[in-house]
């Protein structure tokens, strides 16, 4: 893999992720190299381990959160370095199960640690904490809303998570009660770690180009879910 490639991490964890494919095509058009990175399959990793082989190069790095003892996390070596990490979230593909943005990096930890994370009573916090090691440069979040595609781009991972959660709520019944996005534990942990915006007033929405009135109304409806309006 060449140096300074954009590492594209799809929330769908699929090689055929449609938004990741479209993003990489655009990057290619601008002469920017990219590399699609998928998590190591835990069963495959354990099978190879039993035969004394490995299917990935791993790097153990320190992780220090303000309210926990220092620890370590083991991640693919290609994710530890200067290559920018971009996340891609196709909400249609992951809505209802995740991951979205803030819990995505944790899917890439070594399979043994991944099992430990899943068994932890503080797994939401532990998953977000991994973002202290791998910083997300850009997040692209998209979903079909009615007859059109809505796509958001941000360099703030908390804003990206909020937008993904708000888009996912489009699939819920109108009368279904849901926890507000700012009350979600993943968002709360991320704000505690100061990974991005901390209050709705820190956020602003910019629309790219001319959009139809129905599309504008849809955007307004969605961003109101996390306390932001359009100017």
CATH number of the structural domain spanning residue 145: 3.40.50
The pLDDT tens digits for 110-169 are 998 888 888 888 899 999 999 999 999 999 999 999 888 999 999 999 999 999 999 999
The total number of structural domains that make up the chain: 1
- Let me know if residue 92 belongs to a domain: yes
Q: What is the pLDDT of residue 1?
A: 46
- Of residues 231 and 214, more confidently modeled: 214
Pairing of strands 6-10, 85-90: parallel
pLDDT tens profile 174-212 = 666 567 899 999 999 999 999 999 999 999 999 988 888
How does pLDDT run across 41-72, given as a tens digit for each residue?
A: 766 555 555 455 555 689 999 999 999 999 99
231 within domain boundaries: no
Q: Does residue 1 lie within any of the structural domains?
A: no
The burial of 198, by beta-carbon neighbours within 10 Å (0-12 exposed, 13-18 middle, 19 or more buried), is given as middle
Phi, psi (5° rounding) for residue 34? Answer: -140, 165
Note whether residue 12 is domain-resident. Answer: yes
Owning domain of residue 69: 6-226
pLDDT of residue 51: 52
């Amino acid at each position: 893999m060449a140096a300074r490639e954009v590492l594209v991490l799809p929330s769908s964890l699929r090689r055929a992720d449609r938004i990741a494919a479209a993003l990489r095509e655009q990057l290619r058009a601008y002469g920017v190299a990219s590399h699609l990175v998928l998590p190591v399959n835990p069963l495959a990793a354990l099978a190879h381990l039993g035969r004394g082989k490995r299917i990935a190069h791993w790097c153990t790095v320190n992780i220090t959160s303000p309210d926990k003892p220092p620890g370590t996390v083991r991640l693919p070596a290609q994710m530890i370095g200067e290559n920018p990490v971009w996340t891609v979230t196709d909400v249609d593909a992951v809505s209802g199960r995740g991951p979205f943005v803030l819990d995505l990096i944790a899917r890439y930890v070594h399979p043994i640690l991944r099992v430990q994370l899943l068994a932890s009573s503080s797994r939401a916090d532990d998953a977000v904490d991994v973002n202290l090691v791998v910083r997300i440069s850009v997040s692209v979040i998209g979903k079909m809303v009615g007859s059109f595609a809505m796509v958001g781009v941000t360099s703030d991972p908390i804003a990206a998570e909020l937008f993904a959660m708000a888009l996912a709520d489009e699939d819920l019944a109108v009368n279904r009660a849901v926890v507000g996005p700012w009350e979600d534990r993943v968002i709360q942990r991320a704000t505690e770690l100061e990974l991005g915006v901390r209050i709705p007033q820190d956020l602003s929405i910019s629309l790219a180009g001319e959009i139809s009135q129905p599309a504008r109304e849809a955007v307004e409806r969605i961003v109101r879910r996390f306390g932001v309006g359009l100017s």
